[in-house]
Amino acid sequence: MKDKKNIYYIGGAILAYFLIIKPVLQKLSILKTDQEIDVDKEKQKFLNTTNEKPTKSSGEWAIIADQIHEDLRYTALDDDKKNAAYQAARVKNNADFKLLYKNFGKRREYFFGVPSGSEKDLAQFLRSNLADSEIQIINQNYRNKNINFQY
């Protein structure tokens, strides 16, 4: 009888995890969804398949990545969206984008000086802070330069 009771508890815990806890953790961006994992794999595949030479050094792209973060890090209060879009559009080829993306890494937004939300990569950061029209302009700029990545 006691073993049966334990089995019910274990079954209930597993059921609670998959039906309640896991979806909540995914909504809070603590746990990645299957779709986010697939997107990350695609990004890594793209980032590992370029044979072009960058037009700027890794240090220069690190400065540009820092500038994008500075322009957008405060949740809509003190954002310089035009400059962030300009900095993102400075990419001239796939190798440049690869360096910008890697130098940006994962960063967080702030709300009144307090970290807000989960860490985001460059694509997620720009997507969540720029308007669709600004993203389309950057994407068109990338297409004109034959850059494979699109936000």
Return the number of other C-beta atoms located less than 10 Å from residue 93's C-beta.
17
Cα–Cα distance, 143 to 151 (Å, whole number): 11
Question: Is 19 in the same domain as 42?
Answer: no
Same-domain check for residues 25 and 54 = no
Residue 56 domain-assigned (yes or no): yes
**Does residue 9 surpass a pLDDT of 90?**
no
Q: Do residues 4 and 55 share a domain? A: no
- How does strand 107-111 pair with strand 114-120? antiparallel
User: From start to end of the chain, where are the E strands?
Assistant: 107-111, 114-120
- Residue 66 sits in the same domain as residue 138: yes
Cα angle 148, 49, 100 (rounded to 5 degrees) comes to: 65
Same domain, 4 and 75: no
The three-point CA angle 97-28-41 to 5° equals 35
**Is residue 124 assigned to a domain?**
yes
- At residue 124, the pLDDT reads 87
The model's pLDDT over 103-139, given as tens digits with 9 standing for 90+, comes to 999 988 887 777 777 788 898 889 888 889 999 999 9
22 and 94 belong to one structural domain: no
Q: Please state the domain count of the chain.
A: 2
Q: What is the pLDDT of residues 58-101, one digit of tens each?
A: 999 999 999 999 988 876 666 788 999 999 999 999 999 999 99
Q: Are residues 16 and 43 in the same domain?
A: no
- 42 plus 79 within the same structural domain: yes
Domain assignment of residue 54, given as a range = 35-144
